Amino acid sequence: MDLDVVEPFFTLRPIKRELEARGLQVVARERHTLGLGETGVPLPAEAKWALRREGDVILDVGYGAYGAQTLNLVEGADRHPDLQVLAVINVARPMTATVEDVVAHVRELGRVDGLINNTHLGEETTVELVQEGARLVTAAARLLGLPVVATSVVKELAPLLGGRDVMGNPVRVLERFMPRAFW
Amino acid sequence: MKGVQIQPAMPRSWRPETKPHKFCPGCGHGIVLKALGEAIDELEIQDRVVFGCDIGCSLLAWDFFNVDTVQTHHGRTTPVMVGMKRANPELIVVAYMGDGGGYAIGTQHLVNAATRNDRITVILVNNTQYGMTGGQMAPTTLPGQKTETTPFGRDPELTGYPIQGPEMVASITRDGAYVARGTVAKPRQLKGFIKRALQNQMAGRGFSFVEALSTCPTNWRTNAEDTWKFIEKEMTKYFKVGEVKVPPELARGKGEREDG
Amino acid sequence: MPAKPKPVEGEKKVFMTGNEVVAWAAAAAGAECMYGYPITPQNEIMHYWTRLAPKFGLIFLQTEDELAAGFTMLGGVLAGRKSFTATAGPGNTLMQEPLSMAEMMRLPAVVVIQQRGGPSTGQVVYSQQEVTLTSLGGNGEGLRVVYSTSSHQDLYDYTIKAFNTAWRYRFPTFVLGDGYQGKMREPVVMYDPELRGVELVPAEPYVGRPGTPGVDRPPAHLRNAYSIEEELYEAVMELVREYEKVAPEIVEHEAFGVDGARVVAVAHGVVFRAVKGVVRELRQQGVPVGYFRPITLRPFPADALRRVAATGVRLLVVESAYGQLARLVKEALSGLPAEVHGLYKPGVLVGQGEIATRIKTLVQGG
Amino acid sequence: MARPVKILLAGEGGQGVQAVAEIIAEAAYEKGREALYIPNFGIEQRGGVSLAFVQVGDEPIGPPRFETADLAIALSDRAVVRSRPYVGPETTFIYDSSIGTNHLPQGVTRLVAVPAIEVSKKELHPRVFNVMILGAVIGLTGVITVEEAKEAIERRLGHRFEKDPALRELNHRAVERGVELVKGKL
């Protein structure tokens, strides 16, 4: 579910159909119901009830001054037993480039239950970069008292990492759709 | 109101083909537009109202009513409706805008239309930030309130205190003006204010202005409970709800007062 | 209701300032509303309009700025009245916002520009530096008509024509004058356009038509915002197609002595007056020179100018700006091996002496 | 192509040069000639030297401002300086005799001083100073006749003359005296 209401440029909408063809249900506005020329977008009503759905529910909170507080928009998010809030960290971004920055960033977000090391540079990602991310994110996680749930890496590089990264975190393999999500 | 009147679920002046509307769940716009629709119905002016909407979330109302509608530019709805009213005084014109459109980019138009006592009705929706552009600070943002351009909360030392719109309009208008601040938390009262604002225009007395305190859970990041807490407890610390200026003739008017 | 008196009855020759001419011409063209904001050198258009107003039942409002002047004008247009405004310089910059709305929503409107010096506050007297802004301003495609006048007779004739063009084709229409034209006095023949067979195109309301919307008729839902690229693309391309279709009916120019000329001077507006005198005098002396004057700067008389340039002449663009007209000329001639020279004097009138010298040099191959 | 007569009037604000220019242009127009008049109207129009450009001819007039005047009249020190760009060797340059000679334009063959300020003060009234200048222009150029000038003055000030016929007399004498002042000066 797409909850990024601040800067929906990289949101799921443009690839909604493609994802649905793969069996995912996507809760996001169709393009023709966008905000008539402005970047911000009103949320669809079904977003409010997303946690009532069956199966795995993934909420893309986006970024913003309110951090994870955006979850307030989803009915039951404050008390759902299975809900986990994961902060996806890319140390290649200047705002989260050091351990201190990552710690400060995660504290700003509010409720966070774990970190994901998603360090990358798009097409120019290297294994060394991913491993460097794993080291920094793991160090930050220790300071925060949070687990590192995974390191994520594109499928092209996954064989070079193996099942675990340099810090022993499990590796999740990504297939990138977002390059097609520009609109 | 005398006798029992069954309110239709949807005002007659709404356009059913464009419902459900496009506002977010919990958004106050729908309540304000319902109040306006009911006021139009009760005054039986659907055939001569022209609705002008601004940029921002208000523009989502461009096809909301079965009423002639013009969507303009950010802040420019007031002058479009002023020009229209002066060119054809038979029309009842409503300029509908947000706090950004009325109190920032279009302030000069609001101030001067009020000063000239233009016979138009302005409805300004105050939800304390810019909704459609993704939640930036507005002139109405509360001290300490987080927005995307005040990520650490609005610091009044740097960016001032929330603008007192109706109070400003009241102080620069003459006796014929009608000025009120309603809230979507009290829809019946809000409808009463809007209706009186329209009646004041119909009587040709002067400028009519209603600020509506409204909700924006999407950008406030609030659940239903916190949303209502914010509008009823936080916003009212800075924005006093009620009629600010009532022309004597309207005050004497029969039974239109609604206290919600 | 008794018929309103006509602002201009019959025909009469008068001696007055150009700004006064514009006010009378607008009234004669059936304009009913003027919304404006003071800026030199167009102020007297408002001054005279307000003096004509009570007698002829005209509407006027001095707004809080040019944004408001433009948008109230559009409000008047939407209500079904022929409305106009006048501005200059920095005011023209602000005016581009409402005019882009007119372009997008295909609303007629007439704006008189009396150019002053720029950039910025510049000077309040004169220039031809608002050619690019007036022709192509706004965040759009320049779907507007721009008439460049060079005399009081032009101001009268083309102000009337601008209202007809705007309301016939529903594209915003500019009359591009300048401070000199606004402030100078010279003779002009004012006439009742209908007596000369000029039919005045009527204005229709866009809102407030008879009947209840949604009951007796569909509501007018007018917008300028679109959700997605393709939707806007369709809307813009429709406007472009319409504009290109009617452009040949609108485009105007004037030429003299271009056959057999070695040099053709290109000028518009008040500078054209200087060029015309010089070229005619040199022609009498046997110098092979002609002139080409675009009367519409948008749409630009490209085909006519290409025919002139195709004969292999050298073109000399003369203007009180640093190549703004020349840019339109070069675009029009794109692909032709034409030589385009410039005599650019931003913000000052170009002297006849220097024009003559430059033409002679070019004729001699220099 | 017959060239129009180009006249530049320059004076201090309040000396009334714009009114003179207007009267000349309007009178010429009434007579059926082509005429064009434009004042300088920059930011300097408030305080500062006032310039008026008048052209009278028999064919439509070209550019509204000319490069070189046939006749230039300057009525103060500053006016002499301001009008210099429009003065060439062929220009007839008239200035008030009260003006110091060190500012005068160089290389002008016809340079004429007229005691207009003094005469208007001593013989007439300072308020008709500009009407005397009008007379001087007529005397030097013949663009309009004295009678036409008087008719033009009547159109402008007739309503005041009704109440005060002596004022009419004063204006008429001022025109005539202006013509006399420049008689035989060239």
User: Which contiguous run of DSSP H or E holds residue C146?
Assistant: strand C145-148
pLDDT digits (tens, 9 = 90+) for B56-78: 889 889 999 999 999 999 999 99
For residue A57, give how far its alpha carbon lies from the nearest alpha carbon of chain C (Å).
Answer: 28
DSSP string, chain D: -PPPEEEEEEEETTS-HHHHHHHHHHHHHHTT-EEEEEE--SGGGSSSEEEEEEEEESS----SS-SS-SEEEE-SHHHHHHHGGG--TT-EEEEETTS-GGGSPSS-SEEEEE-HHHHHHHHS-GGGHHHHHHHHHHHHH-SS-HHHHHHHHHHHHHHHHHH-HHHHHHHHHHHHHHHHHHTT--
Specify the pLDDT at position B259.
44
Q: Which of C98-107, D23-32, D87-96 has the highest mean pLDDT?
A: C98-107
Residue C330's SS3 state is: helix
Q: What is the ipTM of this complex?
A: 0.86
Tokens of C15: 């001696």
CATH at C336? 3.40.50.920
Dmax (CA) of chain D: 48
Total domains in chain D come to 1
State the Cα–Cα distance between residues B54 and B72, nearest whole angstrom: 5
Asked if C53 reaches chain B (Cβ–Cβ under 8 Å), the answer is no
Low-confidence spans in chain B with pLDDT less than 70: 1-8, 253-260
What is the predicted pLDDT for the residue at B195?
Answer: 98
pLDDT band at D42 (very low <50, low <70, confident <90, very high): low
> Is the confidence at residue C78, as pLDDT, over 50?
yes
Element of type H or E holding C291: strand C289-294
Q: Decide if A36 and C226 are in contact by the 8 Å CB cutoff.
A: yes
The amino acid at D137: V
- Cβ-defined contact of A43 to B218 (cutoff 8 Å): yes
What's residue B252's pLDDT?
72
Alpha-carbon gap, residue B256 to B199, rounded angstroms: 10
Residue B117, domain CATH: 3.40.50.970
Structure tokens at B49: 């109202």
Q: Are C4 and C54 in contact (CB under 8 A)?
A: no
Same domain assignment for residues A2 and A17: yes
Pairwise CA distance, residues B227 & B225, whole Å: 5
pLDDT, mean of residues A121-138: 93
* Contact between residue B22 and residue B61 where contact means Cβ atoms under 8 Å apart: no
Instruction: Give the three-class secondary structure for C106.
Output: coil
Contact D38 C15 (CB under 8 A): no
Task: Return the residue matching tokens 């199966």.
Answer: A55
> Which pair of structure tokens corresponds to residue B252?
């004497």
pLDDT at res. A13: 67
Quote the pLDDT of residue B5: 53
Counted across chains A and B, CB pairs separated by less than 8 A come out at 79
Counted domains in chain C: 2
CB pairs under 8 A between A and C: 19
Element holding A133 (H helix, E strand): helix A127-144
Answer for the pair A118, A60: CB distance below 8 angstroms, yes or no.
Answer: no
Comparing C-alpha atoms, which of A163, A152, A164 is closest to residue A116?
A: A152
Tokens encoding B202 = 């119909």
pLDDT attached to residue A33? 47
Q: Region C265-285: what's the mean pLDDT?
A: 97
Which amino acid makes up residue D116?
A: A
Distance from CA of B200 to the nearest CA of C (A): 20
The length of chain B is: 260
Tell me: the pLDDT tens digits for A90-103?
999 988 999 999 99
What confidence category does residue A32 fall into, taking pLDDT thresholds of 50, 70 and 90? very low
Closest chain C residue to A41, measured at CA: C227
Burial B40-71 (b: 16+ CB within 10 A, else e): bbbeebbbbbbbbbbbbbbbbbbbbbbbbbbb
Cα dihedral: B166, B172, B174, B176 (round 10): -30
pTM to 2 decimal places? 0.90
Strands of D5-12's sheet, edge to edge? C11-17, C185-191, D34-39, D49-57, D5-12, D71-74, D92-96, D110-114
Phi, psi torsion values for C79, nearest 5 degrees: -75, -5
Interface test with B, best of A2, A66, A78, A79 (most B CBs within 10 A): A66
Range of the domain at C16: 11-196
Where helices occur in chain C by DSSP H, the ranges are 18-28, 43-56, 66-78, 89-105, 131-136, 152-169, 179-183, 229-250, 269-284, 302-309, 324-332, 352-363
Q: Which residue has the higher pLDDT, A52 or B139?
A: B139
Residue of A33, A38, A80, A108 to mutate, interface with B, max B Cβ within 10 Å:
A38
pLDDT of A38 higher than 50? no
pLDDT given for residue A48 in this prediction: 84
Contacts of A9 (CB under 8 A, 6+ apart): A39, A182, A183
Distance from CA of B220 to the nearest CA of A (A): 8
The reply to whether B3 falls in a domain is no
In a domain, B204, yes or no: yes
Judged by DSSP in three states, C316 sits in strand
**Res B253: pLDDT:** 59
DSSP character for C79?
T
Check if the beta carbon of residue B198 is closer than 8 Å to that of residue B45: yes
Concatenated DSSP letters for B64-84? SBSSEEEE--TT-HHHHHHHH
Residues of chain B in contact with residue C64, where contact means CB-CB under 8 angstroms, are 108-109, 111-112
Structural domain contains residue B5: no
Residue type, A98: T
C280 to D1: CB separation less than 8 angstroms, yes or no: yes
Same domain, A65 and A91: no
Number of domain units in chain B: 1
- Tally of CB atoms within 10 A around C8: 20
User: What DSSP line would sit under C256-284, residue for residue?
Assistant: ES-TT-SEEEE--HHHHHHHHHHHHHHHH
Strand runs (DSSP E) across B101-226, as ranges?
A: 121-126, 129-130, 136-137, 178-183, 208-213
Q: What is the pLDDT of residues C232-260, one digit of tens each?
A: 999 999 999 999 999 999 999 999 999 99
| Whether residue A88 sits in one domain with residue A77 | no
Question: Percent of chain C, pLDDT > 70?
Answer: 99
Domain assignment present for residue C242? The answer is no
Bond preceding residue A8 cis, omega within 30 of 0 = no
Say yes or no: A60 and A18 in one domain: yes
Sequence-separated contacts (24+) of C51-59 with Cβ below 8 Å: C52/C7, C52/C23, C52/C24, C52/C27, C55/C5, C56/C4, C56/C5, C56/C7, C56/C27, C57/C4, C57/C32, C58/C27, C58/C31, C58/C32, C58/C33, C58/C34, C59/B86, C59/B87, C59/C32, C59/C33, C59/C34
Structure-token match 């009911």, residue found = B38
Two structure tokens written together for C243:
């504009």
Q: Which residues of C touch B63 (CB under 8 A)?
A: 221, 223
* A77 and A96, same domain (yes or no): no
pLDDT at B21: 84
- Give the pLDDT of residue D45: 52
Q: Do A33 and C226 touch (CB under 8 A)?
A: no
User: Which of C40, C181, C273 has its CB closest to that of D62?
Assistant: C273
Q: Is the pLDDT score of A34 beyond 90?
A: no
Q: Which tops the pLDDT comparison, A30 or B239?
A: B239
| In the block, residue with structure tokens 């300032």 | C17
Q: Looking at residue C47, which CATH number applies to its domain?
A: 3.40.50.970
Two tokens, residue B38: 């009911």
Question: Residue A143 is inside which H or E element, if any?
Answer: helix A127-144
Residue A41 is predicted with a pLDDT of 57
Place of tokens 């509908």: B96
Mean pLDDT of C136-149: 97
A103 plus A43 within the same structural domain: no
Phi then psi for D67, rounded to 5 degrees? -85, -40
CA–CA dist A91, C135 (Å, integer): 49
Residue C272: name the closest of C249, C287, C285, C253 by CA.
C253
Query: Which chain A residues contact residue B131 at CB under 8 A?
Result: 40
Q: Which of A4-18, B69-83, C94-108, D109-123 has the lowest mean pLDDT?
A: A4-18
Report if residue C271 sits inside a domain: yes
Nearest-Cα residue of chain C relative to residue B114: C64
Chain mean pLDDT for chain D: 90
Q: What is the CATH number of the domain that holds D74?
A: 3.40.920.10
Start-to-end C-alpha separation, chain B:
12
DSSP three-state, residue C204: coil
A35 to C228: CB separation less than 8 angstroms, yes or no: no
pLDDT band at D1 (very low <50, low <70, confident <90, very high): very low
CA separation for the pair C282, A7 (Å, rounded): 65
Same domain, C156 and C277: no
Interface of C with D in 176-215 (CB under 8 A): 179-181, 183-187
* Domain that includes residue B181, residue range: 16-252
Assess if residue B1 is contained within a domain: no
For residues A108 and A173, membership in a common domain is answered with yes
The pLDDT confidence band at residue A37, using thresholds 50, 70 and 90, is: very low
Same domain, C187 and C50: yes
Helices B77-87 and C66-78, interaxial angle, to 10°? 50
- Could you list the beta-strand ranges (E) of chain A: 86-89, 114-117, 148-154, 171-174
Question: What's the domain range around A69?
Answer: 1-81
Give me the pLDDT at residue D179, please.
95
Q: What tokens appear for A4 in the block?
A: 């990024």
For residue B89, being part of any structural domain is answered with: yes
The reply to whether A63 and A119 lie within a common domain is no
Residue A10 pLDDT > 60 = no
Q: Is residue C228 a part of any domain in this protein?
A: no
Q: Say if C12 is an interface residue toward chain D (CB within 8 Å).
A: no
The answer to the question of residue B31 being in a domain is yes
In whole angstroms, give the CA distance from residue B102 to residue B76. Answer: 9
pLDDT one-digit tens code per residue, C295-351: 999 999 999 999 999 988 999 999 999 999 999 999 999 999 999 999 999 999 999
- The answer, yes or no, to whether C and D have at least 3 beta-carbon pairs within 8 Å is yes
Q: Are residues C19 and C164 in the same domain?
A: yes
